[in-house]
Structure 1
Amino acid sequence: MEKNAKLTIGDGVFMNNFCSVNCLDSISIGENTLFGENVKLYDHNHLYTAVPEFKVSNSDFSTAPIKIGKNCWLGSNVTVLKGVSIGDNCIIGAGCTIFKDIPSNTKVINQQQLILNSVS
């Protein structure tokens, strides 16, 4: 957490094993929100340049706040990226990467396909 960063966690928040909160700007988590295992919150990205050559900074960042409402459930292996607001009473399914705002009373499902092919 950076010196001027602000992390706010409401009453009754539960974080399961291996959750990670990476706060350089501002992250707020509403009351009675549940995190499954391995949930990750990042309110920043590494800055990079492409010209004259591609370079990723290890110490400079762009930031934007994260706000997670009350009474939410983030399933295992959910990642929330900078600048996202998740409304109240939301369910975020396991394995989702949240990169845009989610309105209140919404269920988000990661709809992956499993493609099975014979090895012979």
Structure 2
Amino acid sequence: MKTEKEKMLAGELYDALDPQLSKERTRTRLLLKALNDSREDQDEERARILEKLLPQAGEGLWIQPPFYCDYGSNIVTGEKVFFNFNCVVLDVMQISIGSRTLFGPNVQIYTATHPMNYKERASGLEFAKPIVIGEDVWVGGSAVICPGITIGDRSVIGAGSVVTKDIPADVFAAGNPCRVIRPVSPDTKHEV
């Protein structure tokens, strides 16, 4: 028989109030409190906290507090990933983020979701879908990335966008719902 954590990581309906999961989230909240309360001049302390909070992070991860997540252990990053102020990452399932990807302030990344059927939803069970964000992606401030989304390498997501469908590589996409606006050329310089 599967544990609730095994169900969660498999994308099946699971009980988020399970004691093991609650204990893991409490551990994460305590690490987040320490990170978010740390001072700008405490680089070594922040690095120590981030190693515990995000054990699958690549070199050069930079998180500008405050930062919030569910578990931290389900966030996998490449090198030199940057999260600006006030990002929220609901990492109930794995979130893979490629190297040199940048997140503006207030970006929200959600793997967690609830059943559409009200009877299933009323049971208190929930589930999740993984998210994949490629390398060299820029996600503008206050964008929301919904469960199950893939964003291709080198794409740019406009500020305030709500990403409800996959976005291919090498495009600028924006809006609610987010849609491809135009291709982005590797030769483009200093364009906004």
TM-score by length of 2: 0.51
Q: Which runs of 5+ in 1 are unaligned?
A: 112-120
Tell me the distance in 2 between the aligned counterparts of 1:109 and 1:65: 21
Which of 171, 174, 179 aligns to 1:109? It is 174
Partner residue of 1:6? Answer: 74
Q: Is 1:83 the equivalent of 2:148?
A: yes
- d(CA) in 1 for partners of 2:116 and 2:150? 25
| Higher-strand-fraction structure | 1
Whether 1:29 and 2:94 are equivalent positions in the alignment is no
Distance 1:48 1:62 in 2: 11
Structure 1 vs Structure 2: percent identity of aligned residues? 34
1:49 to 1:20, Cα distance in 2 relative to 1, 3 A:
same
Q: Residue type of the partner of 1:37?
A: P
Q: Higher helix fraction: Structure 1 or Structure 2?
A: 2
Distance in 2 (CA, whole Å) between partners of 1:66 and 1:85 is: 6
> Alignment RMSD, CA only?
2.2
TM-score normalised by structure 1 residue count:
0.79
CA offsets, 1:42-76, max 9 Å, x none? 0121235435xxx7458421211100000000000
**Structure 1, 58-67 or 100-109: larger mean CA deviation:** 58-67
Which one scores higher on RCO, CA 8 angstroms, separation ≥ 6? 1
Q: Which residue of 2 aligns with 1:18?
A: 86
Q: Distance in 2 between matches of 1:102 and 1:40?
A: 16
